[in-house]
Amino acid sequence: MRELPFLVPNEYDGIGLKSFLRSYCGISSRLMIRLKREPMGITRNGLHAIVTETLKAGDTVRVRMPEDHKLHEPLSLPLAIIYEDSDLLVVNKPANMPMYPTPGHDRDSLANVAAAYFSSKGERLAFRPVYRLDKDTTGLVLLAKNPYCAARLAAKIEKEYIAVCEGTLCGKGMISAPIGLKEGHKIQREVAVGGDRAVVLWKELEGGKGYTLVALRLKTGRTHQIRVHMAHIGHPLAGDDMYGGSLQLIQRQALHCMSIHFIHPVAKKEFDLSCGLPEDMQTLLLTCGMKKYTKTS
């Protein structure tokens, strides 16, 4: 069971434990409630503590993460692990794998595969993706192993996507257009007045035979954002037939989460992780007369 230690600094001398946990440690009110119910969930200098206590500089406060009970059915499949420690797991998700069980993919989602991996290590951990990728979008997914890290990392991950879009794009640009659910649809989105604010930055990397390789960074995180925005400006992703892309050269949207940047919520160190383009996208580039793509910076 994961325990996280926090040393009380001089500037927090005389502060209440609850305020210290909320302001300095970043413990959410929801997690605080769970910790108070956990035996030895919160300790001070090795002794059980209540949140009304007053702290002294140099005290060691420890929080014991509650045990996870809501676990997905495990399914043992290969899992491409990019990075792992006591708090985080970063994997390279393949195409045709949803994040959670869905009709047609009741047991072979990333949640099921992660459950099997954790179980093989003797760990009972819930599935906590810090962000989601579409079923056919490949690339890096960051999983938090405890609720503290999940909350601390939420909306704080910088991601770079690589995509192949139809048509010729030159230079770089920004797309700022609100996105909402398309009328009469449960999944498909569109640019719509009154939708949620959505902004994406794009940069051309290479082009050939009517296709363009682009790098994209999200300033907001809306469902299908890159796919909707690129289709909105007349350059749908290759293979994205939901938003007007052709299936002629690739059978799924040519979109890959290649790199992520974040500050580790426990170690406080900066991390830059990346993974290469999958084979179907590399083949698409060669078919279009472009070079295989490897991230250089």
Residue 177 tokens, joined:
């257009």
Q: Are 45 and 57 in contact (CB under 8 A)?
A: no
* Distance of alpha carbon 148 from alpha carbon 169, whole angstroms: 42
Q: Which of 13, 59, 106, 134 is catalytic?
A: 134
Q: Which residues contact 96 (CB under 8 A, 6 or more apart)?
A: 135, 136, 252
* Distance of alpha carbon 257 from alpha carbon 203, whole angstroms: 15
Q: Where are the beta strands (DSSP E) in 145-209?
A: 158-166, 172-176, 179-181, 189-191, 199-208
Burial class (CB in 10 A: 0-12, 13-18, 19+), 75: middle
Q: How far is CA 216 from CA 54, 188, 263, in A?
A: 48, 21, 21
Burial class (CB in 10 A: 0-12, 13-18, 19+), 68: middle
Q: Which residues contact 33 (CB under 8 A, 6 or more apart)?
A: none
Secondary structure class of 295 (helix, strand, coil) = coil
Q: Are 137 and 92 in contact (CB under 8 A)?
A: no
Residue 108 is a catalytic residue: no
**Nearest to 233, CA basis, from 138, 160, 168:** 168
* Distance of alpha carbon 127 from alpha carbon 28, whole angstroms: 19
Catalytic residues: 134
